[in-house]
Structure 1
Amino acid sequence: MMSASLSGTNNNRGWILVSGLILVIIALLSYLTPSLGGLIGGCLWAILVILPNIGHKKVDQLIDQQRFGQASRVASLIWWLHPLDGWREQPKLLYALDLGQRGARASAVAILDRYQTATTPTGRSAAVSLYQMDARWEELLLWIQNSLNEAVLRKDFDMLVCYLRTLGETGDLNGMLQAWERYQPSLEKILNPRTQNLARMYVLAFCGKTEYVARLLSGSLSDYSNTIKLFWLATVDQAAGREVIAVEQFLSLADSNNVCIRNAVARRLSSPVVVADTLLTEKSREILFKITTEIESETTYSARASFKPRFAIATYFILTLNVLAFALEVKLGGSTNLNNLYRLGALVPQEVVKGDWWRLLTATFLHFGFLHLLLNMLGLYLFGRLMEFALGSPQFFLLYFASAIGSMLAVTYMSVLGYSQSDFVVGASGCVMGLVGGFTAVLLHEWLRKKTRLAARNLRGILAIIVLQSIFDLTTPQISFVGHTSGLIVGFVMGMILKAF
C-alpha cells in the first residue's frame, strides 16, 4: 500500500522563488503603475501560489484515499502552474501507482525504474514505491540502510516516516522505537499534522495500541479510505494478539480490486506482525509511553486536530456576544463614539466608584472600532478554545469572567489611586490576557507533572508572547498596561487553582 512518500516533496525552494518573484513584480508595478500593481499582484498570488496549494492539498487527500488516477490528473494541472519542487514528475509517478493498483505491474515498474534514485526526493519516492508495491519490506529496509544516510532521513520527512514503517513491517519494534527517539527532533519539525500523525499511527499500530490508532484514523487521518482504515485496525489487532479478529478483518479485504491491498493482506496472513508485548524491551516501553503521553497532552492542550475535533461552545458563545455587542454599538451611534460607548457601559473608574459596578463587566464586551474587535476576537478564538479544551466549559466561563472583572477592578483601583491614566476603558483584551495567563498555568502544571515536550515547547512560546505583549503595552499609550497585566495575573492564578482541583 502507498504511504506518505508521494504526497508531495519536502523542497519548498520553488515556492520561495515564486513568492519572491511575485513580490518583485508587485514592487515594480507599484512604482510604474500604482493603480494596477495591487490588482495584478493579487492575481499572480491567486494563480501561482493559492491555486497550486489548494491543488496540492487535494492531491494529498486523493493519495490518502488510494485514488492515484485522479491524483495524477490533479497533479498534472498543478504542474502547469508550478513546474518546480518535483511537481513535473509527480503526475507520472502517481500514474505508475495507479497502474500498479490495477494490476499493470510491468508498466508501473517501467515508469518507476526510470525515476528511482537516492539523491532526490522524487527519486526516493519512486524507489520506495517499487518495493511497497509488492510488500518487499525486507528489501526496502536494506535499501534505506544502504542508500540513505542519517542527514537525509532528518530532512526528508516522508522517508523518515517510511523508515519507521519499514522497521515495524520487518518486526524490529525495538529498533523502530529507538529510531523514533533518535529522530524525535526531526519529527517535531514536521509542520503537517497529517504526516506527523501518520508516523505515530505506524508506530502505535505495530505496538498494538488499538485505541490510539482508532482515534488517529477518525481524526487527522480520517481522509483515508475505509479499506485502508480497516487494514490498519486489523494490523493493530494482530499486534495486540487478537489474531482471530485480525484474520477475519484481513479476509474481508482479500478480494479487493486494489492489487497492492491484496499483496499487503497476503503478507499479513502469511507473515503476521509480531505481538508487541512479547518483544518490547523496558526501554522501548518507556519510549512508547512517552508517545502516548504526548498525544494525550496534545489532545488536551493543543488545537491541532490529531483526533476528532471538538466544538468549543463556550468560546464561540462569548465570541458571538462580543460581535452582537459591536453590532449594537454601530447601530446606536458608532463604535468610536465615546458618548455612545459610555451609554453602553464603558469603564469609567470614577463612575464605578459612584456605584456603576456593572461597568466592570459590560466594558469587556465593547470595542473601539473594528480593528480592536478583530484583534481581541482572534485572541479569544485562539486561546479560548485551548483553555476550554483544557479545563472544560464551566471552568472556562469562570476563568474568563474572573479575568474580565479582575482586570477592570485593577484598572479602577489604580486609576482612583492616581497610578494609572486609564479613565475610559473598553475591550476584551483583559479577558484574553486572562486566557493567556490561564494557559500558562495549565502548561506549567502539565510540565511539572509529566515533563512533556509539548508542554515545554508551548510554555516557551507563550512566555515569548507575554514578553512581546508587555513591550507593546508599555510603548503604546492607548493600551491599558494595567488591564492587560492584571488580567494575565488573575488568569494565571485561576488556572492554577482550577487545575489543582
Structure 2
Amino acid sequence: MYIKNQFVQNKLVVHLMEKEQFELLSLSTKQEEYLLWKSNKRKTDIVRVSLKQYDWKRDLSNSVENIEKQAIQKIKLPLFQNHIAFHHIFITDYEPVDSWESLADSSGHTNKIDKSYVYVYGENTEEIDHFFERSNIAGSLDFEVPDNILELEYQTELLKQRINQLHKEAHKEIQAIFNRGKPRLSYLLIALNVIIFFLLEYAGGSTNPEVLIEYGAKYNIAMLEGEWWRVITSMFLHIGFLHLALNMLALYFIGTLVERIYGNVRFLVIYFLAGIAGGMASFALNPSIAAGASGALFGLFGALLFFGIKYPRVFFKTMGLNVIFIVILNIVFGFSVQQIDNGAHIGGLIAGFIASGIVMLPKNKAYMQQLIASVVYLFYVLGVFAYGISNDEVQFNETLQLQRIQELLSHQEYNEIKVIVSESLPYADDFSAELLFYRSFANIHQESFDLAQEDLEKAVSQKPDFEEAWYNLALIYQQTENYPKALSAVEQLIELNSEKEEYNTLYNEIQKTAP
C-alpha cells in the first residue's frame, strides 16, 4: 500500500535527521524521494530514501548511477575523506522482476564514492537493519504502522511537516552562525587604516623609511632598544597605496565574515592577538622595516580554519575549499616574492588559529580548551620573541645595520659605529665593504689612521670600484707620507671616474708634495 510506504519512508527520514544528525540535501516536490548525508570521522554516508518502483534491474541500475553522479556534484565534501558510501533505500511493494542482488553491494559509480549499497524494503523488512549496520548507526528503527487508514494518512502528513520543519531549522541555524555580530569593527579598522595612510602621505610619503619609522613601523633596531609597542602600531601603517588597497579589500571581505561568525569582541581579540604575534614573527625572521595589517589578516584566516574544525559540514558547504586555497596560494606566493613578509603571514595565521581557541565560538563553552589555548599562545609568542632576540643573522643583518650606522653618523657616535660593524661583519654577504668603510670613517675621526687604513684596504680589495674607499685611502696614504701608494690610489680613482675634477686635483696635489 503506497500510503504505508510513505509512512515508513518519512519515519526513517525523521529518525535520521533527529537522532543521527543527517542533513537533508534535497527532496522531490511531492516528497517522494529524499537525499541526506552525514560526515563523521573521515567517513561520509549519503542516503537516498525513495518510493520509486523499478520493475527491472536495468532501470534500477541506471537510477542508482544517475543519482550518485548528480549528488556528488551537489555535496562539498570535507578534505581527506577516507571512505564515502552511498546507500539507496527503496521502499516499495515488490522487488524488481529480474535478479538485482548484484547491486546490493558494489563499487561506487564515480571515483569519489567507494561503496554503493542498494536496499529494497518490501517483503524483506530487515533491509533497514542492514543499512543501519553498514552506516554504523546504533540501535534500530522501531515503529508501528497504524491500522486505521485515516490515522495512517494523518501521521504521514505530520512526519512530512516535521521533515520540513527540521530542514528549515537547520537552514536557520546556519544563517544564525553567520549573523552573530554586525561587522562594525571591521569597518572602523578600515577607516583607521585609510586615515593613517593619508597622514603618512602628508608627513612625507608612506614609502619613506624615515616617515615609517617615525610613525611606528616595525623596526628591529628600535624594538631591541625597548620600543615593542611597534608590533601594534605597525599594524595600522601601509607602504604604498597598492599595499593599503589589497589589505583593506581583504579586511572588508574576510574581516566582516569573521566578525559575523565570532561576534565583535571575539573578532577584535583575534585580530590583535594575531597581529601582535605576526609582528613578533616579522621581528624574528625579517630584518627589514615592515608595516601592514597582513599578520592580523592572516590571523582571520586562522580563525576561519578553526571554525572549519568546529563546524566542518557548514565550513565545506559554504567557503572551506576557497579559504584553504587562498591561504595556500598566499603562502606559496610569499615564499616566491622576496619583498613579502612571509614570517608575519605565517606567524599571524598560527596565532589567529590559537586565538580562536582562546575566545572560542559563541555558544561553545570549553573552559579547559580555552585555558590550554591561552597557555599555548603565551608560549608561542615568547618562543618567537626568544628566537628573534637570538637570531643574529637577522638582528645583525648588514642592510639593517647600515641603516642604523647612518643614524649614528648624524650624532657622531663613532664608538657605537665600530661596535656595530664588528658585530655585523660575520653575517655580511653583499655589503661587507661598506661596513668596513664606515668603521674606517669612525677611526679617521678618532685619528686611528692605522686601523682606518687596514679597513679601507680590505674594502677596496673586496670592491675594487668603491670610489669613496679609494679616495679616503689616498688621503690616509698622503697623511702618513706614503706617496707611492697615495698616487696609486688616486690613479685607480681616475681610472674609475676620469671626469671627476676632485680626483685630478688630489692627484696634482700629491705629486707636488711628493719628494
TM-score (norm 1): 0.42
Where relative contact order (Cα < 8 A, 6+ residues apart) is larger, the structure is 1
TM-score (norm 2): 0.41
Higher share in strand: 2
Higher share in helix: 1
Higher-Rg member (1/2): 2
